[in-house]
Structure 1
Amino acid sequence: MGGTSEQQNAVTLLWQEHLVAPFPPRLRTADPAGVDVVLLDAGIAGCVSVWRKNGGRLDAGRQRTLLHCARELERALPLVTDAEELRYLLRLRRLAELTAAH
């Protein structure tokens, strides 16, 4: 089942924000709570790209990947105190949650 128009609009807006947001430099080397944010970012971006290309649809494997990434971000978030880093990670988590939803 494809995403709703409201869901697609929300993902589109978040995705546009994400594409122009610089990756927080400290998170290139810091792994809060053992979470490799660079890998999560790449994994989520790939899944979101497929979701958008497929009209709001994802296979079960990519949905699981997104849910795993969102859980990993949940572990990392309490250890991140920089406002820009938090904004970046919260947006990334929201993208994962929205695109994983049916």
Structure 2
Amino acid sequence: MSESTEQIQNADRLWEEHRHEPFPDNLRRATFGDTHVWLLELDIVGCVLRWRDNGGTLDSKDSLLLQSCIKDLDRVISEINDPTAAHYCQRLHQLAVLVAENTPSTK
């Protein structure tokens, strides 16, 4: 199995885990600076769904959005005090990174 195939399978596994776990209540109104966690999740999930629907590709707009969300989550995760909420965001971050790493460049 190639590394890329394994990463895609990991992304699929993380997606299944993520979609079955409810968004943590304490993050519903959480903001870190000007970053709303629920908006990050919404943007990342949208990118993941488009990536899955398009056979593992994203357009340049979605790729840029996903990269921006990854950077924001990098910053936010360290500020989350609740272990359950932090785990939720860490898994979301890992999923976003796997999708970004397995997206060929498109126009």
Q: Secondary structure at the match of 2:78?
A: helix
Shift of 1:56: 1.0
Residue identity (%):
38
1:64-75 correspondence runs (5 A): 64-75=64-75
Residue equivalent to 2:105:
none
Shift of 1:94: 1.0
Residue equivalent to 1:39:
39
1:1-102 correspondence runs (5 A): 4-102=4-102
More helix by share: 1
Task: Please list every run of 5 or more consecutive structure 2 residues that lacks an aligned counterpart in the other structure.
Answer: 103-107
Query: Residue 48 of structure 1 contacts residue 96 of structure 1 at CA under 8 Å; is this kept in 2?
Result: yes
- Structure 1's consecutive aligned runs of 4 or more residues displaced over 6 angstroms after TM superposition are none
TM-score (norm 1): 0.90
Task: Please list every run of 5 or more consecutive structure 1 residues that lacks an aligned counterpart in the other structure.
Answer: none
Cα-Cα RMSD: 1.5
What CA distance in whole angstroms lies between the structure 2 residues aligned with 1:33 and 1:92?
19
